[in-house]
Structure 1
Amino acid sequence: MSHNNFLQNLTKPPVADKHPEVLELHGDRRIDNYFWLRDVDNPQVIAYLEAENAYTAAMMQHTESLQTKLYNEMLARIKETDLSVPYRKDNYYYYLRTEEGKDYPIYCRKKDNLSAPEEILLDENELAKGHEFFSLGVFDISPNHQILAYSVDTSGSEQYTLFFLDLTTNQLLPETIPDTYFSFAWANDNQTVFYTKIDDANRPYQLFRHTLGTDTDADVLIYEEADELYHLYVDKTRSQAYILMSLRSSITTEVHYLDANHPQGNWQLIHPRTTGMEYDVDHHSDYFYIVTNDAATNFKLVKTLVASPSKVNWQTVIPHQEDVLLTGISLFANHLVIYERKGGLETARVQNLSTGEESNITFPEPTYEFYEGNNPEFNTTILRFHYTSFITPQSVFDYNMETQQRELKKETEVLGGYDRTQYQSEWLMATAEDGTKIPISIVYKQGIKKDSQNPLLLTGYGAYGSSYPATFSSNRLTLLDRGVVFAIAHIRGGEEMGRKWYEDGKFLQKKNTFTDFIACTEYLINQKWTASDRLVITGGSAGGLLMGAVMNLRPELFKAVVAHVPFVDIVTTILDTSLPLSAMEWEEWGNPNDPVYYDYMKSYSPYDNVEAKDYPDMLITAGLNDSRVKYWEPAKWTAKLRELKTDNNILLLKTNMGAGHSGASGRYESLRELAFEYAFILDRLGLGTRD
């Protein structure tokens, strides 16, 4: 067959043969023609995914020069050989660096001062050799700085193998531990470690104790969580005094603690799980400090003596506030850092534990992202934090908690002469169907006019209480400089406007998430920021579910849709508790074994609501090894859309055959994936040939 004929055949969309499966629940018979795509061991399934990839490549072949141009343009803004800001722990300064041409970071340290010789601890590039995918999980150094515990995943399935490296000899210890999760803690004896193992559904459910130099078969099982709603995590307080075992469902927490100086000792319970009650624990001197939603929707801070941690002894430190969400705390020897969210934006205040005096950390831009950096030391007056916005590149600050002075340690360099004065960001408010004001973060290049002619890329998430951050991206300049406006819809289901914002976008109120997004879309069109034929939307995972839902509801609003690893077959997936996360999802979306939730979830499930009508242009992505959203969800959705849609618009499925939920792991291949996505967007907007 000639190359031209081969391409002509490829430009016909692959057809997924129908192998109907009948699913029955509550008297409802659901015929799923594409259930067979779940069988990853079936050669026909792999052949189908590869055919879809070939079709996608053929349909995007005319953009290959654009993809190359975009890739080179984005790469040219990145300082490929770079160095992180070192952080101090005891007598060592730890940092990582990158080198031009290498995909992964190199972890290093220096002893006593930054002029000392460099010691390379771990080079991810060496570990990644021979693997299509590489991800580092645990990276935790023993209290005496002599042993490095690290774990790796080389498939994207989030199944990690744990290793121990002797930093004095640079030799691996003989023991390796497979099927671990990326939570871990050292005891203070430098010999005992605690790690978590996963079950067949990738759920961390067991806590083990291991002593270095002993056979891992002799490791002691400390705890096994039988309830599939709960995940198990292990961690250590900054004070280094206690190891914490946290058992968490989506809405309930139970924490146990152990004296880190006595790893063979008995674990103690702080408070038994109470459905709907969440709490996080930190330690200072004789007290545990606890952030909890107990009788406090937006959370409050309490403290209790370590010797008597039960709830009856909790003393309120920061009471519940109706208009302020307490997002967390950090404890240092003489300071308490309080993280809050007010009016949708993050703030912090620092309290001197000796005097009670407080100082505020505030920022001037209308929308931004702020979070704590690496602060391993307890006895310090310096708080490291990160700040970024649509316009300000990632910046690292050291804040003196005594003097209230902040020092900029590093702002990520953007090569090529980035001029922040050429860009503008705003915080807008749309109005939802029920009158609720929905925030929108927006950024654009100076000179943009609101005349309905602007191309616009709108994104959102709206699930799990995750607030969508307004961060800087040098890659995004590629779109902004071509006149594309970028916006985030801060819809309900996130936590931008407080805990109720989340509660109003889950369970039987989940549809608020979708109608909020549509309201934001209509607002941007009505305010002449853009028009429907100039509007592209994008979202990933639960944000991919959002894409599918709004596309089913109002397909005419959008020119094109990009859905990354979309969670679109929600009813079937959550019913299958053998899959990772499924049972835990009952506390986010509802339990479909209950007819009320089943009917509600089915009424918006993107896969179940595909209809014979026109849909926008679409790019859908998947990862063959994805353990969070299995590859078959986007594959089945694509097949059903091909079967039913009545338009001639482009529909592409692109499956990464060697990666998981987050796509390619190497920074250069990740950039190529983004160049492909941007090429699709610009091509659909008619901007593919614009310089």
Structure 2
Amino acid sequence: MCSPLLQYGKIGVTAMSRGSIKSTVEFSKKQQQKLRNLEQHFKKRLLAVHQRFAGIPDSAVVWGRHHVYTEDGGAIYRMAFGQGEQDLGEVFRADWAGDVGGTIQRVRLSPTESVLAVTVKSSLREEARCLLVRLDADSEIHQPMLILDKVFSFEWATDKVLFYSTQEGLQCRKVFRLLLSDRGSSSTLVYEEKNPEFFVEVSRSRDHRLVTVNCSSKDSSEAWIIDSTAPISPPVLVQSRLPGLLYHVEHSENQLYILANTGPGQEYQLLRAPVSSPSMPNWVPVFTPSPWTVIKDMEMLRNHCVVSVRDSTGLLQLQTVPLENPKQVSTFKLPAWACCLETQQARMMDRETFRFFLSSPVHPPVCYLLSPGHRQPFSQEEDPQQHHLQECYTTRLQASSQDGTLVPITLFHMPALDQLGRVPLLVHVYGAYGLDINMSFCPEKRLLLEGGWALAYCHVRGGGERGLAWHRAGHLLQKQRGVEDLAACIQTLFHQGISQPGLTALTARSAGAVLAAALCNQHPQLLTALTMQAPFLDVLGTMQDPSLPLTVEETGEWGDPLTDPQYRECIASYCPCHNIKPQRYPSVLITAYQDDKRIPLSGVLKYAERLKKAVHTHKSSLLSEPGGSVILNLQPGGDHFGPEDFDLSLNESAKQMAFLHMELGLEAHGYRRRRK
């Protein structure tokens, strides 16, 4: 649950296995072969575009005191500062975890760089394994000194003390302290969460002084702090959880800096309190953003707090707050194309510079530096690859929803705005859990853009693009607003002269599929194609089954239909699976995973069968009108976020691109429609 059809008259659920397509009724062999040919074509093009961007900067670099660590091909290599690539040495391999095809998830160095801790996840299980490797300077061979099972998050307090949270299924409720000694190791439980609505993870302040235990539900949070200089002491509570209170903590010079939703409209503001008296009565406001601007994150430097904010149209900015004089705020505008900001881990000794990457779905990451105390505080690292990119436009639009609310849209295109009337359009939506839609760089999106497509990202209510109030306005009893916002966005694009229904496809994944599939029930005429990956489709059935791993935790997003008839009626009104009716539907490609613990497969199968039946009934009543295809691409494995294996991931992307081009009637090499 968490955090792209109608022209050929095909009906039926088609199961697409790796390397083959098995169809049911009325999916002709000719169409199957055509789809396979397109898949092979797009797999070659996707492979080429991935190779083209293989050298883009990576935010996953880890800096130690003496070495820099990089991950490549399931292994971690280190290189001493000032040395070239000839000095690279392998210090870790993912297959040490005992799984074929395991992927590296999180990497942490102990304070003096003597021990490396890494989690490795297999596609065969949800839980990861944590491996500890001693980094002997003189040794060329490194092997795990300890393996911990079912680890989700972890942080070092000292070279001898590691705190970690464990995962059972999809829930994290326990935190342990691992003590290393010459005689071996021992783990002690230091925190256990009793409320099933809360999720627990471990983090660390940028100055490495505090380890924090963060407990979060959908509408409240609570933090405990552990002083790294006294790691055996019990955790200290910052502020006990209160309904509606969300907060996160950082540390600098014996002060806690707290990002909490205590500002106007229950939005985030920056506050501080003494470490010795951290509770809410001692919180003093430091920085509150201007109206219509919302805080997205913060980063603590030695003398400044760097705050990333978004304005009402979605533009990103950075603001630096001097800790000694918080009123002297400086604002740094970022490039208009920037949609995603990713922080790179800082060097252990560097607390003066904020290093980060900016990207968009079609712009590869570019590294920037922000050093508030320097004469030239804001700079970009030279990236020669950017000069070879074709020019593209980033256009910000707003759609007026049914109740008059303005909904931001981000549009990427290569032809000028007044030349988009007959180009294919791929619309993206998420709108859940207060999360921003994913807008990091994606080579597949760049390939579509260069192939003549326009790409629209709809920042509907239920997401987090315009702050916490934006989420509150689109969750629980207000979920239908997200569907209305999405419809308004697509209609606004058409009214602006951008594409047309026969050339428009919609794509969504996970909880974003709720809005996408609901739109197809309510406004099917707006689209020709829909792709959904690991989709959440049977909201009502899932939320009425508390035995499922996420149901209790998810009541803060969807409501509890078992105890409140109002929530049951609301969910039933928009639930994609329960509102299918005989009508002309877009063609649909559903990619699902057999062992996905987040999305019950039964709900996906129920939706596909009901949709197939509705399309068949509609076609039977109107023989002259073609029906949409319903294709179920059912894959083995349980990774909700798609296969970790590059080749398998490439196959999925190729299937989706082939499906879109075939159903929209496009040439494989461009957006010119084929004659019929």
CA separation in 2, counterparts of 1:544 and 1:300?
32
**Match among 138, 141, 162 for residue 109 of structure 2:** 141
* 8 Å Cα contact 1:298/1:320 also seen in 2: no
Instruction: Tell me the equivalent position of 1:232.
Output: 200
Instruction: Tell me the equivalent position of 1:223.
Output: 191
Letter in 2 for 1:120: E
CA separation in 2, counterparts of 1:596 and 1:285?
50
Instruction: Tell me the equivalent position of 2:631.
Output: 652
CA separation in 2, counterparts of 1:247 and 1:378?
29
> Which structure 2 residues correspond to residues 23-422 of structure 1 after superposition, within 5 A?
54-55=22-23, 60-77=32-49, 78-79=51-52, 82=55, 84=57, 89-96=63-70, 98=72, 104=73, 106-115=75-84, 117-124=87-94, 126=95, 131=100, 133-155=101-123, 157-168=125-136, 169=139, 170-181=141-152, 183-188=153-158, 190-199=159-168, 201-212=169-180, 219-294=187-262, 296=264, 297-319=266-288, 321-343=290-312, 344-354=314-324, 357-365=328-336, 368-377=339-348, 379-389=350-360, 392-403=363-374, 404-409=376-381, 411=383, 413=385, 418-421=388-391
- Structure 1 length normalisation: TM-score? 0.86
Find out whether 1:523 has 2:477 as its counterpart: no
Q: For 1:153-181, what per-residue CA distance to the aligned partner results, in whole angstroms no more than 9, with x for missing partners?
A: 21254211222112225443453222222
RMSD: 2.9
Letter in 2 for 1:657: P
Q: For 1:350-403, what per-residue CA distance to the aligned partner results, in whole angstroms no more than 9, with x for missing partners?
A: 233345544322124266333322225364322101112355321112222222
Letter in 2 for 1:307: S
* 8 Å Cα contact 2:316/2:338 also seen in 1: no
CA separation in 2, counterparts of 1:130 and 1:469?
29
- Give the secondary structure class of the aligned counterpart of 1:61: helix
* 8 Å Cα contact 1:391/1:425 also seen in 2: no
Instruction: Tell me the equivalent position of 1:679.
Output: 658
Shift of 1:85: 6.1
Tell me whether 661-670 or 212-221 shows the greater mean CA deviation. Answer: 212-221
- Give the secondary structure class of the aligned counterpart of 1:458: strand
Letter in 1 for 2:645: G
CA separation in 2, counterparts of 1:250 and 1:214?
43
Structure 2 unmatched runs, 5+ = 1-9, 620-626, 671-676
CA separation in 2, counterparts of 1:481 and 1:149?
41
Shift of the 568–319 alpha-carbon distance from structure 1 to 2, 3 Å rule, reads same
CA separation in 1, counterparts of 2:98 and 2:657?
29
Shift of the 367–138 alpha-carbon distance from structure 1 to 2, 3 Å rule, reads closer
Percent same amino acid at aligned positions?
A: 25
Q: For 1:633-666, what per-residue CA distance to the aligned partner results, in whole angstroms no more than 9, with x for missing partners?
A: 3222112212332343211011220341111112
Shift of the 529–129 alpha-carbon distance from structure 1 to 2, 3 Å rule, reads farther
- Structure 2 length normalisation: TM-score? 0.87
Letter in 1 for 2:247: Y
Shift of 1:508: 0.9
Instruction: Tell me the equivalent position of 1:614.
Output: 584
> Which structure 2 residues correspond to residues 570-585 of structure 1 after superposition, within 5 A?
570-585=539-554
Tell me whether 136-145 or 586-595 shows the greater mean CA deviation. Answer: 136-145
* 8 Å Cα contact 1:246/1:253 also seen in 2: yes
Letter in 2 for 1:382: T
Letter in 1 for 2:390: R
* 8 Å Cα contact 2:103/2:121 also seen in 1: yes
Instruction: Tell me the equivalent position of 1:665.
Output: 644
Tell me whether 557-566 or 57-66 shows the greater mean CA deviation. Answer: 57-66
CA separation in 1, counterparts of 2:289 and 2:180?
45
> Which structure 2 residues correspond to residues 453-492 of structure 1 after superposition, within 5 A?
453-492=422-461
Shift of 1:130: 6.6
* 8 Å Cα contact 2:56/2:365 also seen in 1: no
Shift of 1:441: 0.8
Letter in 1 for 2:254: D
Q: Which has the higher contact order (CA 8 A, sep 6+)?
A: 2
CA separation in 2, counterparts of 1:618 and 1:162?
39
> Which structure 2 residues correspond to residues 434-513 of structure 1 after superposition, within 5 A?
434-447=403-416, 449-450=418-419, 452-513=421-482
Shift of 1:111: 2.4
- Give the secondary structure class of the aligned counterpart of 2:364: coil
* 8 Å Cα contact 2:210/2:225 also seen in 1: yes
Shift of the 318–165 alpha-carbon distance from structure 1 to 2, 3 Å rule, reads same
Shift of 1:510: 0.9
CA separation in 2, counterparts of 1:444 and 1:81?
23
Structure 1 unmatched runs, 5+ = 1-10, 16-46, 99-103
Shift of the 163–53 alpha-carbon distance from structure 1 to 2, 3 Å rule, reads farther
- Give the secondary structure class of the aligned counterpart of 1:420: coil
CA separation in 2, counterparts of 1:471 and 1:153?
22
- Give the secondary structure class of the aligned counterpart of 2:106: strand
Find out whether 1:595 has 2:584 as its counterpart: no
- Give the secondary structure class of the aligned counterpart of 2:22: helix
